[in-house]
Amino acid sequence: MRRGIGIQAAQKQTQTQKQLQNVSEQLNTENINKIKEQLLVFKENLEIFATKHKKDIIKNPEFRKYFQDMCNMIGVDPLASNKGFWCQVLGVGDFYYTLGVQIIEICLKYRSSNGGLMEMDTLAEHLRKLRGKNSQEISCDDIECSISKLKVLGNGFNIIKVSGGKKLVQSVPCELNKDHTDIIILAQDNNASITQSLVISKLKWSEERINNVINFLLQESMIWIDEQSNETIYWFPSLWSNFSFE
Amino acid sequence: MSNQVFQFPPYYHKEPFFTIQPILNTRKKQFQMWQDLILQYCRYYKIYELDINESIKSNSVLFNNEKINRKLSREALKSIIDDIIENGFAEWVDKEKEKEKEKDKDNNNNNRVLIMWRKPDEWASLIYKWVADCGLLNTVLTVWEIQNGDDSKKQEFHQLNTTILMKSLKVLEKQSKCQTFSQDENVGVKFFSI
């Protein structure tokens, strides 16, 4: 009796499990098919959208930003892979990757002059020159987006926010702490230069603290010394408004 | 040329450019910029010699930017010139005497420097090409003819500094493309076809 009951129960359980598996497989298959259909519809809609608005996305930086924001809300990163929909259909990936290469090229060219710091506006101007008049319009948002993708390559590119909504592009892998940033902000409001007395009067720092920051920035070639004044002046080439090193 | 003035690059108007930078990397960049500026300025005005003391004393515009109240000191200019010499674009004019003076440990007398904004090798190529194009191969020319003759008026080496010209001719001699010889105070040169 026990043996019979055990065997039958086991057999019944096995049969039940098989049946359940079949059912679940069916359900999964149906779900997958539905999702595939939805993706196809999505893709078709995207292609229609792309056909209509491709030029706008490529030519209009504002439109591009809205597109980017929409993707972020959905949780899709159109730049994460070159094989994604958006890159294939819209050419957005190529646009930003090309821009990234050009940004690297420009930062490398001027690194020895400005120590690897460059104002966002200056970089944008260089990009416009490099890309020529007939190329697409570039906005600072585009540059930021491209730089954020360059971070995947490791330490090297960073964006520093300074006062007045301005931003500096840093293309060397050194750590700028708050002291350095404060000095840069102070220099920005003082015609791209600082003196020790200015720092003392504005930031109330000790001499040792000032010297530490200045020596670091000197070592990194981010500031240049000017000793033909009553007091030594330290200049930030990266904050000069024109293309000083052309 | 008479009405036009040399256009200084933007960095000439930046104050720290006139202070020798203490950090090696920055100083390298600075010296490169000064070399470019000096060579371009000399090329523009066809200047072949610079007198360091004279330039400083007369506040030559090349080393003195009055707008920003900055000028290069003599010591700074000397170190920049030393760098340009090391790069092969300049030479002390009193090079032979320099050796004697070094024995006397008197370095302050090195004043005049030959600026080669185009190196003798390049001048040599230009001259030989001109000689070949004019069908003057296997003929004798005087140095004066090359420098000041009517035929060379449109050439870049017209009124070329004699010292640099002789250097160029030496380059060609090493390449077996010409032979120089002297007669009284005149120097002649015969160019050969290759």
CATH number, domain with residue B165: 1.10.10.10
Q: Examine the domain organization and report whether B90 and B157 are in the same domain.
A: no
Q: Output the CA torsion sign for A219, A223, A225, A229.
A: negative
Q: Examine the domain organization and report whether B97 and B177 are in the same domain.
A: no
Q: For residue A219, what is the nearest residue in chain B, using CA coordinates?
A: B23
The enclosing H or E element of B33 equals: helix B24-44
Relative to beta strand A224-226, strand B70-71 is unpaired
Let me know if A199 is exposed, middle or buried by CB neighbors in 10 A (0-12, 13-18, 19+): buried
Q: Examine the domain organization and report whether B89 and B127 are in the same domain.
A: no
Q: Examine the domain organization and report whether B101 and B129 are in the same domain.
A: no
Q: For residue A225, which residues of chain B lie inside 8 Å, CB to CB?
A: 16, 19, 21-22
* For testing contact with chain B, the best of A174, A224, A234, A236 (most B CBs within 10 A): A224
A161 close to A115: Cβ distance less than 8 angstroms:
no
> What digits encode the pLDDT tens for the residues B134-157?
888 888 888 888 888 888 877 878
pLDDT higher than 50, residue B96: no
* For testing contact with chain A, the best of B7, B8, B15, B69 (most A CBs within 10 A): B15
Q: Examine the domain organization and report whether B111 and B128 are in the same domain.
A: no
Of B9, B25, B70, the CB nearest to A112: B25
Q: Is residue B5 part of a domain?
A: no
Q: For residue A241, what is the nearest residue in chain B, using CA coordinates?
A: B10
What is the C-alpha separation between A188 and A121, in angstroms, rounded?
14
Chain B positions touching chain A (beta carbons under 8 Å): 9-11, 14-19, 21-23, 25-26, 28-30, 33, 69-71
Q: What is the pLDDT along chain A (246 residues), one digit of tens a residue?
A: 555 567 778 887 788 888 888 888 888 888 888 887 777 786 667 667 776 776 677 777 877 777 767 676 666 666 665 556 666 566 666 677 778 888 888 888 787 778 888 888 888 878 877 777 666 667 887 888 888 878 777 778 888 877 777 788 888 777 677 788 888 888 878 888 889 888 888 888 888 888 889 988 988 888 888 988 888 999 988 887 654 554
Q: Examine the domain organization and report whether B126 and B96 are in the same domain.
A: no
Q: Examine the domain organization and report whether B125 and B101 are in the same domain.
A: no
**ipTM of predicted assembly, 2 dp:** 0.77
Instruction: Give me the domain span that covers residue B171.
Output: 120-191
Task: Give the number of domains in chain B.
Answer: 2
Q: Is residue B20 part of a domain?
A: yes
Give the domain-ending residue among B66, B94, B115. B115
CA neighbor of A80 nearest in space, from A96, A57, A66, A101: A96
Q: Is residue B4 part of a domain?
A: no
- Can you give the three-state secondary structure of chain A, one letter per residue? CHHHHHHHHHHHHHHHHHHHHHHHHHHHHHHHHHHHHHHHHHHHHHHHHHHHHHHHHHHCHHHHHHHHHHHHHHCCCCCCCCCCHHHHHHCHHHHHHHHHHHHHHHHHHHHHHHCCEEEHHHHHHHHHHHHCCCCCCCCHHHHHHHHHHHHHHCCCCEEEECHHHCEEEECCCCCCCHHHHHHHHHHHCCCCEECHHHHHHHHCCCHHHHHHHHHHHHHCCCCEEECCCCCCEEECHHHCCCCCCC
Let me know if B8 is exposed, middle or buried by CB neighbors in 10 A (0-12, 13-18, 19+): middle
> What digits encode the pLDDT tens for the residues B24-60?
888 888 998 899 899 989 989 888 888 888 788 788 8
Q: Examine the domain organization and report whether B29 and B111 are in the same domain.
A: yes
Q: Convert B117-154 to b/e letters by CB count within 10 Å (16 or more is b).
A: bbebeebbebbbebbeeeebbeeebebeebbeeeebee
A235 close to A192: Cβ distance less than 8 angstroms:
yes
A174-241 to CATH, choices 1.10.3720.10, 1.10.1040.10, 3.20.20.70, 1.10.10.10: 1.10.10.10
Q: Examine the domain organization and report whether B84 and B159 are in the same domain.
A: no
Q: Which amino acid is at A222?
A: M
Cα–Cα distances (Å) from A35 to A38, A48, A88, A116, B75, in that order, read: 5, 20, 21, 48, 77
Q: Examine the domain organization and report whether B134 and B161 are in the same domain.
A: yes
Shortest Cα distance from B66 to chain A (angstroms)? 13
Give the domain-ending residue among B87, B115, B143. B115
Q: Examine the domain organization and report whether B110 and B21 are in the same domain.
A: yes
* For testing contact with chain A, the best of B29, B69, B75 (most A CBs within 10 A): B29
Do the chains contact at B11 and A112, CB–CB below 8 Å?
Answer: no
Q: Is residue B165 part of a domain?
A: yes
Give the domain-ending residue among B82, B115, B148. B115
CATH level 2 (architecture), domain A91-170:
Orthogonal Bundle (1.10)
Q: Is residue B51 part of a domain?
A: yes
What proportion of chain B, given as a percentage, has pLDDT over 90?
11
Q: Examine the domain organization and report whether B159 and B173 are in the same domain.
A: yes
Q: What are the E-state strand segments in B93-158?
A: 112-115, 140-142
